[in-house]
Structure formats: structure tokens, C-alpha cells
Amino acid sequence: MQSKPLTLTLLDALSIIVLGVATYLALFFAPTERVMGEVQRVFYFHIGTAWTALMGFILAAVFSVAYLATKNLKWDRYQVAAVEVSLVFFFLTIVLGSIWARPAWNTWWTWDPRLTTAAVTELIYIAYFMLRQGIDDPERRARFGAVYALIGGLSAPVTFFAIRLFRTIHPVVIGGANAEAQGGFAMTADMRVAFFFALFAFTIIFIDLYWNRIRLGDLQDKVEQLKLKVTM
């Protein structure tokens, strides 16, 4: 039994600390937005979770290619971990976005490109896990998982682009402006501090969870091999 690496334990502790600080910055330090009021504070975590989840999905697609090229099961474990953590983070993004949208857009949900793409992306990766669940052979599970993650990872941006042919009301706070967007605002310096710290914090938390998940995957693998040895 390998023990938990010290760096990982330290990272665990650091994650808790940065989450605390990010919460403080978002809820108390950042000024209240003039038009939307307190609910705008959801924004910091909304972007933090969205950013890390998207990075995770992109990583998953990269691991797909890596697995299909090398057939090394290590990439498969990396991929599952990335998809699993990202799925949870992206779900948080959607929930936080809905909380914000209720007062800002006067509805929990609209069929805006980003929202629709987010929902479709969640469904793609839920389907990914359903596919994996139906396969017993680990090598085939990895192959099919990689193929589906690749197809899904390619299709999600196309979906976004397709729906973008319609209009959007989702605000773009960072870069680019959309005259039709509702609920956009300009960030003040203090808001920026809270914003960038939230990005940083969620990146750390993501890496920590991701690392833990990979370690779990490795251990699972070992247990499975030991079980095989016993039954042989």
C-alpha cells in the first residue's frame, strides 16, 4: 500500500485555505455591484468552476488522442479522472448560473447558446460514463471511452457554434461585448482581485481533486489486479 504523497496532503490543505479566502473575497471584499446587487457575487465562483471544468474537458480530449496513439491505460485513468471532476464542476457552474439568472434575467433557464451547450456537454459526459459502465473489459472500456470523449469533445464546440447562429443574451464580461447581452457589467479593481483569486483558487482545487482522483484510479486498478490474482 503506497502512502499518500506529502505534496498531495499539502495541496489538500492549500485547497481548503484558498477556498476560504476566495469565499471571503467574493462575499465580503468585492464591492456590491450597482445594478444587480448581492447576487452578482455568484459570478466569481461561476467563472472559477466553468474555467476549470472546461480545462478538464479539453484535457480529456487530449488524453483520448494520447490513449488511442499509445494504448497505455495510464491515459485512460487520467481521462476518467478529468471527466469526473469536470462533470461535477460544470454542474456547479450551471447551478450557480441559474441562481444568478433568476434575478438578472428573470428566469432560471433560457435556451441561450452557452446554457444549451453546457446542458448538452453534461449529457455527453454522462453518456460517456454510461458507455463505460456497460463494458467489463478494461482495455475495451478505455478504447471506447477515448473514442467517445474525442467525438464528444469535438461536438460540444460545434454545438455552441451552431446555436450561436441564433442570438445570445449571455453577457461577456471578459473581452468582447455583445449589445444584446443582459446583465453585463464592468469590473472594478477590487472585483478583479476577487475574480482572479477565484480563478486561481478553483484551479488549485481542481488540481487537488484531480490528483486525488487519479490516485484513486491507480489504487482501484491495483485492487482489481490483486483480485484477479486471488481468483486465479
Cell digits for 227?
483480485
Query: What is the rounded CA–CA span in Å between residue 46 and residue 100?
Result: 9
Judged by CB, which is closer to another protein: 105, or 148? 148
The least distance separating another protein from the CB of residue 152, rounded to whole angstroms, comes to 6
Judged by CB, which is closer to another protein: 56, or 153? 153
Judged by CB, which is closer to another protein: 96, or 150? 150
The least distance separating another protein from the CB of residue 71, rounded to whole angstroms, comes to 9
The least distance separating another protein from the CB of residue 146, rounded to whole angstroms, comes to 7
Judged by CB, which is closer to another protein: 165, or 179? 165
The least distance separating another protein from the CB of residue 93, rounded to whole angstroms, comes to 17
What residue ranges bind another protein (CB under 8 A)? 68, 120, 123-124, 127, 130-131, 133-136, 140, 143-144, 146-148, 150-152, 154-155, 158-159, 161-163, 165
The least distance separating another protein from the CB of residue 155, rounded to whole angstroms, comes to 4
Q: For residue 213, is it left (φ>0), alpha (ψ between -120 and 50) or beta?
A: alpha
Question: What is the distance, to the nearest Å, from the Cα of residue 106 to the centroid of all Cα atoms in its chain?
Answer: 26
Query: What is the rounded CA–CA span in Å between residue 28 and residue 25?
Result: 6
CA-nearest of 145, 43, 134, 135 to 84 is 145
Give, as one character, the DSSP assignment of residue 184. -
CA-nearest of 135, 127, 183 to 156 is 127
- Look at the block and give the residue holding cell 480529456: 60
Judged by CB, which is closer to another protein: 13, or 127? 127
